[in-house]
């Protein structure tokens, strides 16, 4: 269990760095890697417009991708271990559906209720606020449920039901909304890493940090949970505390990331599996850094593809994460005896 600095982790971390540079370099305007490296060494870009492109757009976007990759992967990993369910992911507790409902109320309830919030100043910030409010409401509801219900399977089902309830409200709102509003919401729900400027990034990184700290301090407890609740308790793990850690940590992580980037699909469920399969381990002391770095790699790669190098337009992020991620996971599952190894 002491293989923290495994060679595979070093490779993945190098891949992170490489993809980060490629992500900065590619886009509608190509910035050569040489110039990027020189800029890192203090030599200014030959074109001043590049400085604006990199510093104001691509850098915050790539950092957002990293934060989202880390946060979603670790949320999914915690959920899968806690619920001992390979299909659990960051969205099973309904947090992101809550965020979606918040955004849907903001963008689509205008016609129904006569709101015109989007017309006022700070459109993006009001989306973030609405999503946060939705995520926090569901998190509070989940907390109340967790306080009442002690069984983790029941908790999982309650979470799924919260998610379904929120989704049905979204459907209702969508049905009565105007075409323009519907499109706004649909685009939000496709995920977007590019909306975060430096100010938003400060907030997002603060939230991600806040969500990660309790998880990192529970590495040992998650290892004990591999054998199930009863064994974990017999090894001195405070199960109730771990439950709150799981709810609060994944709630903050997915809530904040969904608020700033929309509901990014696939990463949270798939990356933990990828980490287990590639690192051949169940030890969370290694799985945490492994899943985090793989999350960064995959989200950076997907973002690089979605910004369509050399073209002026972009593709929706979720289309890419799913289109490239799903076959990858299917391949991995077919290759190894997956169900036996989870």
Cα distance between residue 100 and residue 105, in whole Å: 8
Q: Applying CB under 8 A, which of residues 7, 42, 114, 236 lies at the interface with other proteins?
A: 236
**Stretch 67-96: interaction string toward other proteins, x if CB under 8 A:** -----------------x------------
Is residue 121 a contact residue for other proteins (CB under 8 A)?
A: no
HEC sequence for the chain: CCCCCCHHHHHHHHHHHHHHHHHHHCCCCCCCHHHHHHHHCCCCCCCHHHHHHHHHHHHHHHHHHHHHHHHHHHHHHHHHHHHCCCCCCCCCCCHHHHHHHHHHHHHHHHHHHCCCCCCCCCHHHHHHHHHHHHHHHHHHHHHHHHHHCCCHHHHHHHHHHHHHHHHHHHHHHHHHCCHHHHHHHHHHHCCCCCCCCHHHHHHHHHHHHHHHHHHHCCHHHHHHHCCCHHHHHHCCCCHHHHHHHHHHHHHHHHHHHHHHHCCCCCHHHHHHHHHHHHHCCCCHHHHHHHHHHHHHHHHHHHHHHHCCCCCCCCCCHHHHHHHHHHHHHHHHHHHCCHHHHC
Classify residue 59 by burial, with Cβ atoms within 10 Å: 0-12, 13-18, 19+.
middle
Asked if 319 interacts with other proteins (CB under 8 A), we say: no
Give the interface segment with other proteins, choosing from 51-59, 147-155, 196-204, 217-225 (CB under 8 A): 217-225
Among 21, 33, 219, 315, binds other proteins (CB under 8 A): 219
- In the region spanning residues 97 to 116, those forming contacts with other proteins, defined by CB under 8 A, are none
Near other proteins by CB under 8 A: residue from 234, 311, 326, 327: 234
Restricting to residues 249-308, which ones interact with other proteins according to CB under 8 A?
276, 280-283, 285
At residue 297's C-alpha, the angle toward residues 28 and 192, to 5°, is 50
> Is 6 a residue that touches other proteins (CB under 8 A)?
no
**Interface with other proteins, residue 226, by CB under 8 A:** yes
Closer by beta carbon to other proteins, 35 or else 229: 229
Give the nearest distance from C-beta 80 to other proteins in angstroms: 11
- 224 lies in the binding site for other proteins (CB under 8 A): yes
Q: How far is the CB of 338 from other proteins (least distance, A)?
A: 10
* Cα–Cα distance for residue pair 234/125, rounded to 1 Å: 47
Q: Which CB sits closer to other proteins, 4 or 176?
A: 4
Question: Counting contacts by CB under 8 A, is residue 237 touching other proteins?
Answer: yes
- Residue 332 within binding range of other proteins, rule CB under 8 A: no
For the CB of residue 69, give the shortest distance to other proteins in the complex, in Å.
23
Nearer to other proteins, 75 or 218 (CB): 218
Tell me the closest approach of the beta carbon of residue 275 to other proteins, in angstroms: 11
Q: Which stretch binds other proteins (CB under 8 A): 19-27, 45-53, 226-234, 297-305?
A: 226-234
Contact flag: residue 53 with other proteins (CB under 8 A): no
* 175 scored as a contact of other proteins (CB under 8 A): no
> Which structure tokens are listed for 138?
């569901």
Tell me which residues touch other proteins (CB under 8 A). Answer: 1-2, 84, 217, 219-220, 223-224, 226-228, 230-231, 233-238, 276, 280-283, 285, 337, 340-342
């Amino acid at each position: 269990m002491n293989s923290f600095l495994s060679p595979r982790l070093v490779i993945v971390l190098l891949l992170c760095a490489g993809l980060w540079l490629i992500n900065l370099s590619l886009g509608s305007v190509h910035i050569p890697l040489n110039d990027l490296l020189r800029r890192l060494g203090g030599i200014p870009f030959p074109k001043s417009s590049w400085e604006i492109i990199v510093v104001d757009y691509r850098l915050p976007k790539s950092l957002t991708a990293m934060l989202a990759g880390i946060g979603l992967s670790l949320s999914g990993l915690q959920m899968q271990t806690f619920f001992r369910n390979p299909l659990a992911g960051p969205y099973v507790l309904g947090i992101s559906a809550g965020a979606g409902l918040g955004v849907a109320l903001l963008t689509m309830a205008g016609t129904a209720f006569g709101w015109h919030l989007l017309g006022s100043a700070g459109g993006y910030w009001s989306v973030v606020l609405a999503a946060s409010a939705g995520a926090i409401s569901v998190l509070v509801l989940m907390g109340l449920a967790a306080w009442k219900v002690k069984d983790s399977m029941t908790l999982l089902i309650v979470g799924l039901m919260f998610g379904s309830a929120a989704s049905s409200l979204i459907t209702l709102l969508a049905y009565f909304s105007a075409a323009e509003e519907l499109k706004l919401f649909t685009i939000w729900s496709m995920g977007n890493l590019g909306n975060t400027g430096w100010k938003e990034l400060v907030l997002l990184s603060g939230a991600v940090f806040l969500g990660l700290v309790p998880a990192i301090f529970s590495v040992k407890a998650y290892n004990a949970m591999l054998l199930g609740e009863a064994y974990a308790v017999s090894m001195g793990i405070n199960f109730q505390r771990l439950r709150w850690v799981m709810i609060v940590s994944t709630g903050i992580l997915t809530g904040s990331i969904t608020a700033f980037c929309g509901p990014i699909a696939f990463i949270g469920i798939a990356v933990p599996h990828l980490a287990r399969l590639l690192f051949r381990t169940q030890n969370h002391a290694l799985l945490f850094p492994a899943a985090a770095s793989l999350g960064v790699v995959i989200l950076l790669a997907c973002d690089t593809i979605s910004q369509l190098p050399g073209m002026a337009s972009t593709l929706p992020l979720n289309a890419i994460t799913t289109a490239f991620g799903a076959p990858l996971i299917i391949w991995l599952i077919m290759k190894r005896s997956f169900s036996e190894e989870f």
